[in-house]
Amino acid sequence: MKQPQTGPVPAPAERPLLTVDVTILTLRDDSLQALLVRRAEPPHAGRWALPGGFIRPDDISLEGAARRVLLDKAGIETPYLEQLGSYGDAKRDPRGWSATVAYVALIASDRLEPRHGRNADAASWWPIVGTSVAPTLAFDHARILAAAIGRVRAKVEYTTLPVHLLPAKFTLPDLQRVYEQLLDRKLDKSAFRKRIAEVDFLEPVEGERRAASNRPAQLWRVKPDHRTVFFDRTI
C-alpha cells in the first residue's frame, strides 16, 4: 500500500484496524436465517461471528471488500448488498482501536451453493429468533445483527426489498407469503396486489405456470432495470 505522503497522516502504528462484516440473510424452511462462521483464531476463537475480514490493500472499495467476503465465506456472488452502518471504538477488539463497516446481503434460497465457500465446515445457517440468534456472537456482532434485522424488517413495510429473497421467477402468492413471514401478519390479497401493481416493477413471464391441482398462478420476474422501490404508503 504505497502512500505518497503528500500531507500529514497518522503514524502507521496509530491507525485503527478496519474491517467489513456482512449479515447474510435468506429464507429457509419458512424462517429468516443468517449465515454465521465459527472463528478459528483468537480473539473469540470458537465463537460464531458474522462473516468478515480486514480491508486489504488490493480491495478496490468498501463494497468491493464486502463482496470479496461474501464470495470467500459463502461462495455467493452479486446478491442484494446494502451498507448498514459503521461501528467503531477503542474497546470492541482487544487488538486495538477497531472499526467495522457493516453490510446486509439478501439472497434467494435457490442460490445457496451446496458448498459455503472455502471454509464450508465452519459456516452454517442459523434461524433468527426475534432480533438475535441462538449462539453468543463474537465482538459486537449481536448488536450489528440486530440492527441488520431491524433494517430489513423496517424496509419490508414500505419497499419491494423482499423480492431479493425469492428466486428469479415467482408468483404473487409466493411474494405475498414472504411479506407475511417477515411482517408476521396476514395481508389482504386484493390490497397487496394493488400495491404491487401501482409501483409497476414486475413483468409477467409468459407461458410459464406452476403445477398444482388448482388454478395455476402467473409467474413474474422483476423488470431488468429494477432497483428497490418505495411504496407511497406502508405496505
Contacts to a copy of itself by CB under 8 A:
1-10, 12-18, 41-43, 54-57, 59-62, 64, 83, 85-90, 94-97, 99, 101, 232-234
Which residue's CB is nearer to a copy of itself, number 59 or number 180? 59
- Joined grid coordinates for residue 214: 388448482
The least CB distance from residue 230 to DNA, in Å, is 14
Report the DSSP pairing between strands 202-209 and 52-54.
Answer: unpaired
- Joined grid coordinates for residue 56: 486489504
Report the DSSP pairing between strands 218-222 and 202-209.
Answer: antiparallel
- With CB under 5 to 8 Å by kind, the binding choice for 159 among DNA, a copy of itself, none is none
Which residue's CB is nearer to a copy of itself, number 9 or number 197? 9
- With CB under 5 to 8 Å by kind, the binding choice for 209 among a copy of itself, DNA, none is DNA
The least CB distance from residue 44 to a copy of itself, in Å, is 9
- With CB under 5 to 8 Å by kind, the binding choice for 217 among a copy of itself, DNA, none is DNA
Which residue's CB is nearer to DNA, number 99 or number 187? 187
The least CB distance from residue 190 to DNA, in Å, is 3
Three-class SS state of 131: coil
CA distance 115 to 121: 9
Query: What DSSP string describes 148-188?
Result: HHHHHHHHHTTBSGGGGGS-SSEEHHHHHHHHHHHHTS---
How big is the chain by its Cα radius of gyration, in Å?
A: 20
- With CB under 5 to 8 Å by kind, the binding choice for 96 among DNA, a copy of itself, none is a copy of itself
Which residue's CB is nearer to a copy of itself, number 139 or number 192? 139
The amino acid that residue 223 corresponds to is K
- With CB under 5 to 8 Å by kind, the binding choice for 172 among a copy of itself, DNA, none is DNA
Q: How far apart are the first and last CA of the chain?
A: 48
- Joined grid coordinates for residue 134: 441462538
Nearest to 23 by CA among 141, 194, 181: 141
The least CB distance from residue 204 to DNA, in Å, is 8
Q: By CB under 7 A, name the binding residues for DNA.
A: 171-173, 188-191, 193-195, 209, 211-218, 232-233
The least CB distance from residue 1 to a copy of itself, in Å, is 5
DSSP 16: P
Which residue's CB is nearer to DNA, number 188 or number 225? 188
Contact present, 204 and 219 (Cβ < 8 Å): yes
The least CB distance from residue 95 to a copy of itself, in Å, is 5
